Amino acid sequence: MAKRDFEQLVFQVRLASKQKALQQALLIPWRRLLEAASAYAEWHIFVLWVRAIAEFEEQLPDIVRAALGSRCPGFLEDEVPRRQRYLHDQSFLWHSLEEWIVVHYFAEAKSQGWFDAVMFYAYKDLRTEQAWSLWERTREAWHRERPSRWPSFEEWTAQVIATHSLTESGSDKARAGQQLANVDPVRLRSAASELIELRGFALWMACISDPEQPLGELALKELRRRFPDFPIASYPQTIWDRSLFFRLVRFGGAQWGATARAERWNVALRYHVVHHPRYHRLVHYLHKCHDEWLRVPPRSYPSFADWLRAADEYFVPPTS
C-alpha cells in the first residue's frame, strides 16, 4: 500500500470515528456530556500519575496506594488475584485501572451507548494533552535522575495545569495550549460561553431566514435589540445570505476577539468554542429545524430565547 493510500485510510478511519462519536453525543443533554467528559479527563490525569510512578517501582509506594484506596475503593483488592502479572508487566496496572474506572464511573455511558462521545470530548479537553505531555517529559527526566520523593496527585495535577508546551507541536491544539499561560481559566470559559451563545444567535437567524430573501420582522427586531450598532443595509429590505451570516458571527465576537488577540489567547478561545459540545449541539439543532420545517412549515418562528432553550434541551434518548 502506498503511503498516500495509507494516510487516506487513516484519515477515513478517524473521520468515521469522529462521526460515530458526534452521533452518540446526541443521546445525552450536552451539559451532562460535558460533565462526563470533564470527569473522564480528570480521571485520565490520575491514571497517568499512577502510571508515571508505577513504571519506576516494583511495589506501589504508599502515596499511590493511599490515593487508589480513597479514589478507587476496592481496586487494589480486585487486583490481588492478578498481582503476579503486574510484577512482570508494568503496563498492566494502569490498563487495569483505566478499565476499572470505566466500569465503576462510566457504566451508564457505556450501557446507553454514548461512551465514545465522552472519550471524544475528553480528548479535546486540553488538560488531557497537557497530562500526556507532562508524563512524557517526566518519564524522560526520571530516567535520567530519579526524584528524591514522588509527587502527590495534587502536585501532579498542578504541574499538568502549568504545562503549556504540548508535545503535538505546530497544531491548533498546541498553540491553544501554549496560550493558556496568558489567560485565567475561569475567564477563558466565560468568554467561550458568551461566544457560543453569540454564534447561536447567528444560527437562529439562519434558522428562521430564507436564503436570498428579506429578513423577517422577528429577525430584524431581535437583531436591532441585541446589536443596535450592527450595520444594516440602508435600503428597506435586508437580504439574508452567507455574507450576512458571517458578518454577524464576526460582529458578535469582535469584542472578545480583540481582547483575546491583544492578550494573546485568541487561539485558545477559538479552540474552546469550536470543540465545545454546546456549539456542536446548536449546529445540529439548526439542521434539525431546517429538515423538519421543510416538511411542515411552522405557523410562527420561535424567538431566539425559545429557540436557544429548545436547542440546549434537545437530545435523542437512547432506545432500550
pLDDT given for residue 89 in this prediction = 55
pLDDT score of 152: 97
pLDDT computed for residue 15 by the predictor: 59
Q: Enter the C-alpha cell of residue 165.
A: 508546551
For residues 293 and 232, which has the higher predicted lDDT (pLDDT)?
Answer: 293
pLDDT in tens, 176-204: 999 999 999 999 999 999 999 999 999 99
pLDDT band at residue 317 under the 50/70/90 scheme: confident
**Residues 6 or more apart in contact with residue 208 via CB below 8 angstroms:** 216, 218, 219, 301, 302, 307
Are 117 and 21 contacting, i.e. CB atoms less than 8 angstroms apart?
Answer: yes
Whether residue 304 has pLDDT greater than 50:
yes
Which of 32-41, 103-112, 162-171 shows the lowest per-residue confidence on average (mean pLDDT)?
162-171
Give the model confidence (pLDDT) of 104-150 as tens digits. 999 999 999 999 999 999 999 999 999 999 999 999 999 999 999 99
pLDDT over threshold 90, residue 1 = no
Looking at residue 120, its pLDDT comes to: 94
Q: Is the pLDDT of residue 173 over 70?
A: yes
Structure confidence at residue 92 (pLDDT): 74
Which residue has better confidence, 237 or 87?
Answer: 237
If we measure between CA atoms, which residue out of 84, 34, 23, 80 comes closest to residue 58?
Answer: 84
Q: Of 33-47, 80-94, 146-160, which gets the smallest average pLDDT? A: 80-94
Q: What is the mean pLDDT of the chain?
A: 89
Q: What is the distance between the alpha carbons of residues 175 and 155, in angstroms, rounded to a whole number?
A: 24
Which pLDDT belongs to residue 91? 60
Read off the pLDDT of residues 220-273 as tens digits, 9 standing for 90 and up: 999 999 998 888 755 557 899 999 999 999 999 999 999 999 999 999 999 999
